[in-house]
């Protein structure tokens, strides 16, 4: 492993107050040295999945090479080492979001499974016909479809909070949807399609005033801002490892401990049981009652390393850097003739969704790819918000800690080529 000083080490003594040295950060990501079609890779698809620093890759490799074993029930040396590392990752996540207890951290396969877990357990136990669930018009499919399935199965009522033409959540209209029958609000923290940062504290407060529980989809928020679930006071908060520079196949469901322990298991099998006889089974308390079978051991260790990496850089530093990139990209791309940005909310994260006049999003993505620039095109698993804006798809550039203004310029120059090609 290289002994070069890392960006995390540079900032470690500065209490996370120093500005990011982005070039040094980039050295932590081996994949950014790749070429695409003979051009330096410009990776602007971070809202879909972020790249991995060598600190995460090294932690996972070390686990596989030096102490890998199954966890929790082994008494031998390797099992104890793996268990310690696995549970240390849970502790890191708990501290990262300021959970009251490590027992509030459930490891899942990702944000999608976390939401489905709540729908399948809390939803089926505590919701009945006529109860109401409120979502927003800008939710990811993962925070729409599970509630639609509950609606069809149980007869609950699904309500949708509207957004305005800039992508702002209409808080007054949301409040009007809340009623004595509202049992659950499931809302995104940051829209993956528009970048809108929702007024999540007000959303939670208003729901709690009506006695409703709140689930927050934090998949786009976790890599970009300081999270404090105690201060937010939601009842559930979910996010995925792969969007925060960790591996795929690992995610987190945070829930208030008393609520988690009232919920039935999601899956059954080994590890989540207390006692099994042929007549009856009793289950462990959270989090283990929701972690049936052999978990994603090394992926959890990788997530723990990603948390260390983000913490070392400082979420304030990351947010300031990405906020600057968003402002620059909004101005730079907005100057491209014929380009229209969809989503200009008052509070936005580092996502720019756009279209160019009379040019399909997939054509945009294909052409800029040949210039080495990777963007996401399509409906972004948010078809209702596409319908709201009257489009089938957009191109989306999403920025991360390792992106630069020069890369924004590379995208803008590639878009100029798109315009020139279609002007012929």
Active-site annotation, residues? 381
Phi first, then psi: what are they for 341, rounded to 5°? -90, 130
Instruction: Determine the Cα–Cα distance for residues 300 and 317; give it in Å rounded to an integer.
Output: 25
61 burial (CB, 10 Å; 0-12 / 13-18 / 19+) is middle
Q: Reading across the β-sheet that carries 105-108, which strands appear in turn?
A: 105-108, 251-255, 236-240, 213-217, 182-188, 132-136, 157-161
Picking from 122, 88, 120, the residue whose alpha carbon sits closest to that of residue 107 is 88
Q: Is the CB of residue 208 less than 8 Å from the CB of residue 214?
A: yes
Exposure class string for 238-271: b at 16+ Cβ within 10 A, else e: bbbbbbbbbbbbbbbbbbbbebbeebebbeeeeb
Judged by DSSP in three states, 375 sits in coil
CA distance 22 to 20: 6
The kind and range of the H/E element at 258 are helix 257-260
**Tokens found for residue 133:** 């669930």
| CA dist., res. 156 & res. 122, Å (int) | 13
DSSP H or E stretch at residue 298: helix 297-313
Distances, alpha carbon 67 to alpha carbons 154, 249, 299, 304, 363, in Å: 46, 20, 14, 16, 47
- Other beta carbons within 10 angstroms of residue 228's beta carbon come to 12
DSSP state of 265: P
Q: How many whole angstroms separate alpha carbon 36 and alpha carbon 220?
A: 26
Instruction: Identify the residue whose tokens are 């720019």.
Output: 352
- Separation of CA 73 from chain center: 31
- Please state, in angstroms and as integers, the Cα–Cα distance from residue 376 to each residue in 315, 353, 355, 398, 399, following that order: 25, 9, 12, 8, 12
């Amino acid at each position: 492993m290289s002994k070069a000083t890392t960006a995390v080490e540079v900032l470690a003594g500065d209490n996370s107050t120093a500005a990011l040295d982005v070039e040094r950060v980039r050295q932590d990501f081996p994949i950014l040295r790749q070429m695409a079609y003979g051009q330096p890779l410009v990776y602007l698809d971070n809202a879909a999945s972020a790249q991995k620093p060598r600190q995460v890759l090294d932690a996972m490799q070390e686990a596989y090479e030096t102490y890998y074993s199954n966890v929790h029930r082994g008494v031998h040396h390797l099992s104890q080492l793996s268990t310690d590392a696995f549970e240390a990752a849970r502790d890191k996540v708990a501290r990262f979001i300021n959970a009251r207890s490590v027992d509030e951290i459930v490891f899942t396969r990702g944000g999608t499974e976390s939401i489905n877990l709540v729908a399948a357990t809390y939803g089926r136990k505590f919701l009945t016909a006529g109860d109401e669930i409120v979502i927003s018009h800008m939710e990811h499919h993962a925070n729409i479809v599970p509630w639609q399935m509950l609606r069809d199965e149980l007869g609950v009522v699904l309500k949708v909070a509207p957004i305005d033409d800039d992508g702002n959540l209409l808080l007054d209209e949301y409040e009007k949807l809340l009623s004595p029958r509202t049992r659950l609000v499931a809302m995104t923290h940051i829209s993956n399609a528009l970048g809108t940062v929702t007024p999540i504290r007000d959303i939670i407060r208003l729901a709690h005033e009506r006695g409703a529980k709140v689930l927050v989809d934090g998949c786009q928020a976790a890599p970009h801002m300081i999270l404090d679930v105690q201060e937010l006071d939601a009842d559930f908060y979910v996010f995925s490892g792969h969007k925060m520079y960790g591996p795929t196949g690992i995610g987190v469901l945070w829930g208030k401990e008393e609520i988690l322990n009232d919920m039935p298991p999601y899956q059954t099998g080994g590890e989540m049981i207390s006692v099994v006889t042929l007549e009856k089974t009793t289950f462990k308390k959270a989090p283990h009652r929701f972690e049936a079978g052999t978990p994603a051991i090394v992926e959890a260790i990788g997530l723990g390393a990603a948390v260390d990496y983000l913490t070392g850089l400082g979420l304030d530093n990351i947010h300031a850097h990405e906020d600057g990139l968003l402002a620059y990209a909004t101005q730079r791309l907005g100057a491209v003739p014929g380009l229209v940005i969809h989503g200009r909310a008052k509070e936005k994260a580092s996502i720019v969704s756009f279209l160019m006049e009379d040019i399909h999003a997939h054509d945009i993505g294909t052409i800029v790819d040949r210039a080495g620039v990777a963007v996401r095109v399509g409906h972004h698993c948010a078809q209702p918000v596409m319908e709201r804006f009257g489009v089938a798809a957009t191109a989306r550039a999403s920025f991360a800690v390792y992106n630069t203004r020069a890369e924004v310029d590379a995208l803008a120059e590639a878009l100029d080529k798109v315009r020139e090609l279609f002007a012929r």
